[in-house]
Structure 1
């Protein structure tokens, strides 16, 4: 994108309070409580049907809620129509007007507000420079690539200088290279403008790389809202642990003093220990250490080269499969079929009930 700049926007605080939305027998939102701080980029992350897009559409005014409140800077906006909510939205499908040029698409909202033609053109050109497409001003959507169309959609959303920017999976229709480039540019632009932004995605890598905080939703409820590093290293629930990043499950047994025994060693528990049922320890691949040993209980059954790191999969005698990320040089000492010992860090472990069949 261009180095052109525009004045920072006036960012807002957004609050969802006990928000509920039902579609027939389906509960889309089940008492959502969440606050987005001024100037923050917060990602709503979760599987399909978890309620993330419903929350975004309710904030935009395109959907109604059954109960609860949506506040912007402390004001309940429930009765304010969508076009007066001071929010800019970028859709997954771009939604550009095919009969309008890029400049006219960007200026469309300004025209609807009665802004003079000269000012509309000036503002559109300024925004096209901001998103790095000043040379496309007179081009129509069909003459531009998907990435260029999405930049035009972003410029259009910013034209009215909204207090809140809403992004509904805006990168999912793009190829991997363009998606990577555009997410970096969106993040840089959001930081430059200081605009409060909600970003809906089901892609954990997008959420972790772009957001100040990530809110993980499941079945209409908030599982955890935290910084990317905290979400990854200190997941509050087993669902978050397995949804964000890769986790292996290892059977364990409880001890009389409230710890667990796994792979022959005792570990303190991070969080609550389930009161009953079979238990599993959840562990990330980078926390699993392997060492070749002829009498080791684990056997290497797969290897995936990831550059500086190679991900090995080992199988225990009971059939449990565990992933381990090792420096590629170290992994070369553990070819397929090698037996190995397996060690976990001494710190507390996350424990969950074993899934039912």
Structure 2
């Protein structure tokens, strides 16, 4: 029987890592609570994988501390850090059965045959592959192989589980199923987990908190809901979810912005003088459409409970709007509508 246990705390303090002129990590600070699953999200080269590799002991930081349960592990060899790791590549041993693959780490730790086979069988049952114990990796699907890799990582009962884009090699349907499975297992085992991905849907659906990185720095780390609804910076707002980029003019002593004749409050007032031309960020679900008016509906994309509409303003600006499908049924391509941008304070684009 697999027992639930409390995971370790993990903390990065002032972590720096440079590759020539590139700052892969530029003073990274992050605390992961025991048993928490934190996803690092960001564009290629932002430093998320480097952070994971430094924690694993596969990269050495140039400066800073890596604390696990309060003890600095910088300088501790990778094989002494008690980390379980799952890579994008499955990395299973082709000449070993599924059961022996899962028990391989226990074998290295000197566990007897009976003990490691019992533990491996329990883990295979946990990931739903107990009937596949005697098969070889080439006899499994990609999703099944990744389940075996996950079971192998958990078999040694690591203090921390590290997941380095483990789902990116799988097709969309399997990826969705396996990410839900990973979350279920992580909650059941109670292991502290750092999950690295470039897929925002993956990060938002699986994590307790998501850290968005840019140029080696952590822009924001928050719950998925807070990250989406209250982004701390324009970069986070643009990177997470879909945004309309609309031309606007600062007004109201820098506290508001005029967009297509509508005055909207700025989430960060006073940064630019009145009259400054800016690009305003508005999420599609904040856009309202009502029949009649001067905007022309050009596209109608049904997505179940929500329909995404594309409207073109008289000046040629394209606006995306997500409306309840019942409401959107009246707004077919070719009809016209009044466009509103809601009452929520807006951010300005980072390059505005």
Which TM class, normalised by the smaller chain length? over 0.9
**Structure 2 counterparts to residues 309-324 of structure 1, below 5 A:** 309-324=306-321
Query: What's the CA shift for 1:353?
Result: 5.5
Query: What's the CA shift for 1:354?
Result: 5.3
The residue that corresponds to 1:303 in the other structure is 300
The residue that corresponds to 1:200 in the other structure is 196
Cα distance in 1 for partners of 2:351, 2:154 equals: 48
The residue that corresponds to 1:91 in the other structure is 87
Runs of 4+ in 1 over 6 A off after TM superposition: none
Paired residue total: 349
Residue from 23, 41, 45 that aligns with 1:45: 41
**SS in structure 2 at match of 1:142:** helix
Structure 1 position 126 matched with structure 2 position 122: yes
Normalised by the size of structure 2, how large is the TM-score?
Answer: 0.95
Residue from 219, 228, 239 that aligns with 2:215: 219
The residue that corresponds to 2:249 in the other structure is 253
The residue that corresponds to 2:57 in the other structure is 61
Query: What's the CA shift for 1:273?
Result: 4.5
Cα distance in 2 for partners of 1:202, 1:242 equals: 14
Residue from 180, 186, 190 that aligns with 1:190: 186
The residue that corresponds to 1:339 in the other structure is 336
**Structure 2 counterparts to residues 66-81 of structure 1, below 5 A:** 66-81=62-77
Task: Indicate if the aligned counterparts of 2:84 and 2:153 stay in contact, CA closer than 8 A.
Answer: yes
Cα distance in 1 for partners of 2:315, 2:14 equals: 45
Residue from 3, 7, 29 that aligns with 1:7: 3
Structure 2 gap segments, 5+ residues each: none
**SS in structure 1 at match of 2:349:** strand
Residue from 161, 167, 171 that aligns with 1:171: 167
Query: What's the CA shift for 1:320?
Result: 1.8
Structure 1 position 291 matched with structure 2 position 287: no
Task: Indicate if the aligned counterparts of 2:235 and 2:349 stay in contact, CA closer than 8 A.
Answer: no
Cα distance in 1 for partners of 2:283, 2:338 equals: 17
Cα distance in 2 for partners of 1:117, 1:329 equals: 61
Cα distance in 2 for partners of 1:354, 1:74 equals: 40
Cα distance in 2 for partners of 1:354, 1:334 equals: 33
Task: Indicate if the aligned counterparts of 2:50 and 2:59 stay in contact, CA closer than 8 A.
Answer: yes
Structure 1 gap segments, 5+ residues each: none
Residue from 14, 18, 21 that aligns with 2:14: 18
Cα distance in 2 for partners of 1:354, 1:226 equals: 23
Task: Indicate if the aligned counterparts of 1:9 and 1:162 stay in contact, CA closer than 8 A.
Answer: no
Query: What's the CA shift for 1:155?
Result: 0.6
Query: What's the CA shift for 1:18?
Result: 1.0
**SS in structure 2 at match of 1:319:** coil
Normalised by the size of structure 1, how large is the TM-score?
Answer: 0.94
Task: Indicate if the aligned counterparts of 1:27 and 1:219 stay in contact, CA closer than 8 A.
Answer: yes
Task: Indicate if the aligned counterparts of 2:127 and 2:147 stay in contact, CA closer than 8 A.
Answer: yes
Cα distance in 1 for partners of 2:322, 2:252 equals: 32
Cα distance in 1 for partners of 2:99, 2:109 equals: 16
The residue that corresponds to 2:225 in the other structure is 229
**SS in structure 2 at match of 1:121:** helix
The residue that corresponds to 1:100 in the other structure is 96
